[in-house]
Structure 1
Amino acid sequence: MAKVLVLYYSMYGHMETMANSVAEGARSVAGVEVDLKRVPETMPEDVAREAGAKLDQAAPVASPEELANYDAILFGSPTRFGNMTAQMRNFLDQTGGLWFQGGLIGKIGSVFTSTGTNHGSETTITSFWNTLAHHGMLISGLPMKDPRITNTEGPRGSTFYGAAMIAGHEHNPDPEIDLAMAKLQGQHVAELAVRLANSQIDAEATAAD
């Protein structure tokens, strides 16, 4: 059984919606156990509420140490000036012990996001990959398994790097396409996790012979 974690930060609920779609896609794959968790909010509660943050999210809060328990992790973070949020950065900065132990080497890592502008997702995802590479993770983007990823009619969030939603954009013609891309990304990564787990089982069986 391959274990997949969908780990996200969401301030206003857009990434929570995306993460649920990613998890739905991952759960559609046989032989996969999927957990949906979020990183802690770092703003004081009164400040977050005044800013309109959505604090009543159902997903439990994750701890950095438990990342090593999974075969694949899909990270979700909104865009902040072309980068991940401070909340996600703070969480990842606590994974130094995992890095030292090599706890994430060979595991699959993938990133999805939300953005307020067209193309705003691209640098957020690709800059996020730097951290995954330092951990020795196998990075997965979003392949063209669905031709809608190349849709050019109006603003579009998702790219070959990963699924993305243009949050609150009044001219986004069909946000359901980006949610479909999020589901597809979850399915794709889960399929990779199963293949990787099966190859490791085969290798161990061959070594035992």
Structure 2
Amino acid sequence: MATKVYIVYYSMYGHVEKLAEEIKKGAASVEGVEAQLWQVPETLSDDVLTKMSVPPKSDVPIITPNQLSEADGFIFGFPTRFGMMAAQFKAFFDATGGLWRTQQLAGKPAGIFYSTGSQGGGQETTALTAITQLVHHGMIFVPIGYTFGAGMFEMEKVKGGSPYGAGTYAGDGSRSPSELELQQAFHQGKYIATIALKLKGGAA
């Protein structure tokens, strides 16, 4: 049976979704791994989203909290709001009380990726504060460390991400993830999928 890795994300303007798509490719490149994209529910009304000029959501399916128990590993992604995860994703985690009570997610590996507006916008604080969600569920936080190699030390080009996970800078919203950021996202997907496979007892 394939090792299931769920890439679960919230994306408002598309930056996180682009990273998620690349992370899925990386995870799916590992033999024996089945990678699937999921979105968490939107909490804002259509009227508010229209006023914010938010584009329509993609056709990636919406996940329910109980569906998390079906996966063997996770990579969670979200934009930053004031240095922490967006409220939409926090609301999703807040709805996982049933899973928490039975510790159905305990022992499963989980990674984190994110998008911020600027270099000081929370590339590390977002990941640090999000780890508490994983800890209470007993999940195993899997950072990428410096396994991305030379790409971690890029100084000439703007690059999001950190040892905590892949990331991108949205700027005023007009900037899209760079090729280097997408490569880091692919690496994260492959790296965590390999670990999930090993933990399940497979061979990478």
Please state which band the TM-score falls in when normalised by the shorter chain: over 0.9
* C-alpha distance in structure 2 between counterparts of 1:195 and 1:153, whole Å: 36
Q: What is the TM-score normalised by the length of structure 1?
A: 0.90
CA spacing shift, 1:174–1:134, aligned 2, 3 Å: closer
Q: Is the 8 A contact 1:118 1:156 kept in 2?
A: no
Match of 2:53 in 1: 52
Match of 1:186 in 2: 189
Write the letter of the residue equivalent to 1:145.
T
Greater mean alpha carbon deviation, residues 30-39 or residues 174-183 = 174-183
Cα deviation, 1:6-43, whole Å, max 9, x if unaligned, reads: 00000011111111011111010000011101001111
Cα deviation, 1:115-155, whole Å, max 9, x if unaligned, reads: 01114211001110011011100101113233111212243
Greater mean alpha carbon deviation, residues 55-64 or residues 139-148 = 139-148
Q: What is the TM-score normalised by the length of structure 2?
A: 0.92
Match of 1:175 in 2: 178
Match of 2:11 in 1: 10
* C-alpha distance in structure 2 between counterparts of 1:174 and 1:163, whole Å: 11
Match of 1:207 in 2: none
Match of 1:158 in 2: 161
Write the letter of the residue equivalent to 1:130.
T
* C-alpha distance in structure 2 between counterparts of 1:174 and 1:23, whole Å: 15
Write the letter of the residue equivalent to 1:57.
S
Cα deviation, 1:145-169, whole Å, max 9, x if unaligned, reads: 3311121224321110110000136
Write the letter of the residue equivalent to 1:69.
E
Match of 2:139 in 1: 137
Structure 1 gap segments, 5+ residues each: 202-209
Write the letter of the residue equivalent to 1:160.
P
* C-alpha distance in structure 2 between counterparts of 1:62 and 1:174, whole Å: 25
Give the secondary structure class of the aligned counterpart of 2:186. Answer: helix
Write the letter of the residue equivalent to 1:51.
M
* C-alpha distance in structure 1 between counterparts of 2:186 and 2:77, whole Å: 13
Equivalent residues, number: 200
Percent of aligned positions with the same letter in both sequences?
A: 39
Tell me the C-alpha RMSD between the 2 structures: 2.0
Q: Is the 8 A contact 1:37 1:62 kept in 2?
A: yes
Give the secondary structure class of the aligned counterpart of 2:85. Answer: coil
Greater mean alpha carbon deviation, residues 149-158 or residues 67-76 = 149-158
Aligned pairs for 1:75-86 within 5 A: 75-86=76-87
More helix by share: 1
Q: Is the 8 A contact 2:27 2:189 kept in 1?
A: yes
Which has the larger Rg?
Answer: 1
